[in-house]
Structure 1
Amino acid sequence: MADLFGDDAPPSPSPGTLSGAGRDDAPLADRLRPRALDEVIGQEHLTGPEGAIGRMVAAGRLSSMVLWGPPGTGKTSIARLLADAVDMRFVSISAVFSGVADLKKAFAEADRMAGSGRKTLLFVDEIHRFNRAQQDGFLPFVERGTVTLVGATTENPSFALNAALLSRAQVLILERLDHEALGKLLDRAEGLEGPLPLTDEARAALIASADGDGRFLLGQAETLYNAGLDEPLGPAELGAFLQRRVAVYDKDRDGHYNLISALHKSLRGSDPQASLYYLARMLTAGEEPLYVLRRLVRFASEDIGLADPQALTQCLAAKDAYQFLGSPEGELAIVQACLYCATAPKSNAAYAAQKAAWKSAKETGSLMPPANILNAPTKLMKEIGYGEGYSYDHNTGEGFSGDDYWPAELEPQAFYTPVERGFERKVRERMEYWNRLRAERRGA
């Protein structure tokens, strides 16, 4: 791997030349790599004159940074162009293929080059794949200025990177390429290779299938060019010709939590259409259906509660149906539970009551309940007053005694406050009725 770190490494493309210059057989994405920062598509909020990268380049000084964004949004291109823009030596390492020995060699070479006045930009692709100890190994070299670190990650740096490393690097967020940015990429490809063999509708479908990934889009375009098609393809023919891109979704990573959060909040906001969309996003990307069902069950108790007690029943029934039928038939039961929860009246009164009651229980410790409601299974207990004065509610005309059930040292609390929605409106009416009876009997 000597050529990866030493002076024998191939130079990054200089302004005015295409990456892979002189190589007509290079992949289309390489031949279309931007030659200057102002040619980077879709990240103008960073590379423009007012962006963080634009300002650093204008000042001629780079700080260490982490480029966080989806695949195919230009992280590697930006890192190479940054080195060119401030005349720094560019060294690239992939955390997937490199180990401790590679890092040591890179740092030693950077130290040697610094002695001759040449600064090094160390680009670490997939930096989140280095473990905590390896990430800590960067710190002394970054602090001394031996290297300017530019890390690239598709994962949330808050979870994937050490706090010590994050405190020494600026996190810059690259945006998913939108339809307009992807269209510009295809324009560049067609400027180099000629018109794509697609109808306008198929071209729009090709852009949509890229899911914001410019590299994937150019790879699909190259497949179309190489096929030598005689007639333009329509959307249906394009779908049959090209593989469908699998959605970017790691079940234990940031995308997982973003989508379950979106589903939960759409349900809470009573938007069945958006709720169904995020449910579909998760299940079609391979999420475990039972995980989604567990979240729906939780939602039924946390955000609906007694406003519609059937919500919990519906979710548990959906779980049973899915376990009985499996996929794909059982997924319809999940859809039904999702739609039921989205359209049900909402209340977090039970959730709020639980939190308040748990807090009170922890704060009040082991207060004894009043003697009238204590169990008295022995003669001694009865003699010392356990159970004395207890009113059996069913023996009253209203089926309600109005007794005080709170410890003597604790004033009656109000943890649960039903809302004026759904079934909980009736619960609220009952509780108000009982409160009136209680007040009347205690005042008598």
Structure 2
Amino acid sequence: MNTATLAGSLTGAPHEMAARADDALFRKITWRLIPLLFACYVLNYLDRTNVGYAQLQMKDQLGFSDAIFGLGAGIFFVGYALFEIPSNLMLARIGVRATLLRIMALWGLTSAAMMFVSTPTQFYVLRFLIGVFEAGFAPGVLFYLTLWYPSRRRAQVTALFFMAYGAAPIVAGPIAGLTMTYLDGALSLRGWQWLFLLEGLPSVLLGIAAFFWLSNSPADAPWLSGAEKLRVLRTLEEDQAAQGPAGRQTIGSALRDARVWLLGFMSFLIILGSYALAFWQPTMMKAMGLSVLQIGFYSIVPAVVGIASSILVGRHSDRTRERRWHFAVAAVVGALGLSLTTLFMHNPPAAVACLALAAAGIGSAFIILWAVPGSFLSKNAAATGIALISTVGGSAGMVAPMMVGVIKTATGGFGLSLYILSGALVLSALLMLLALPRSALPQAQRGF
């Protein structure tokens, strides 16, 4: 070995050891935080979307039309949007532990109370209140992750958290199918009533668990050593410094940042497809001739494919430090899956395969999108910026169910809706590539 090679190996060894130590430290943090946050998000998904399965029974039993169901499903997001930013600002002040306890206890109790619905007005009011109480959960967790992870590590950890959004249908379908089939009539309650009760109360218990298990920040974590706390804080400071002027952003500058509003609109376009499927996919499968129990288990396939894709795409995006093309390709794949579904509405296996392709694209695009804002928002601006993006994007949840319901009533099918949703995904891809140029992102995020 010559002198230059020896010097290079000696210089590189400490760097490699430090990198391995950092990897081990952030794995430790991930194993502490993500499993519980993952479980919370699964329940969050179940309690906001279980109405999509419940309506397979309750719509006929209560005499609700498609329009009533669509409005009730969508009005959730009115309350959600109104209280999203205030909730996230409160989290920044009181910490994630108290915030999650408040959010999960209130949404869980209100979701369980859905079992007593008998009129459209009661349906609307409770759905609105669930939105109010859930407001701030997902953007709050995303802000919370910025307190623990530097930007270069966030895509994968964001993917792990949002993997719950893909994993939830794996349990949602079978739970709904089994509950509504085998508990229908037990204790004089209908199956849809049992579904709301059994999926609502666990959220209260998990909120209590989160209060005692989580730490508000690395500095407050008793499960980290002093050296580990110092290393995490130093890594975050270095990450902020590397962002240059963006690291000194204020809340006001985040609200004036065009990138924040643009990401919010792209999130809106992605979530249109996501929530349209969340609320109407069971009805779509019922129209294919499937039973409630079959629908529950068929729903597993798109969910599993969506999870696997999100993990792989998120990992590759982190490794290459490229976001724009990862997002654009995923969004186009999602659009292709939705469009192809229209060709196989009378062929359940083929339709489910197309829905799986759509889930892969939509899920992957969604997690890549959320890796972007933390790369240019400072700690001071992150809570507001992330909440704003989530509020603008989340408003799609109000539009999508009602839009699909109205179009289905007018046309008698789902074809036109799926084409519109596909167009929204293609538009989001074009906006990422054309309206959000490489110069608008930090160097490590620019890509081609």
Q: Same fold (TM over 0.5)?
A: no
Q: Is the strand fraction higher in 1 or 2?
A: 1
Alignment TM class, shorter chain as reference = under 0.3
> Does 1 or 2 have the higher relative contact order (CA < 8 Å, sep 6+)?
2
Q: Is the helix fraction higher in 1 or 2?
A: 2
TM-score normalised according to structure 2 size: 0.21
The structure with the largest alpha-carbon Rg is: 1
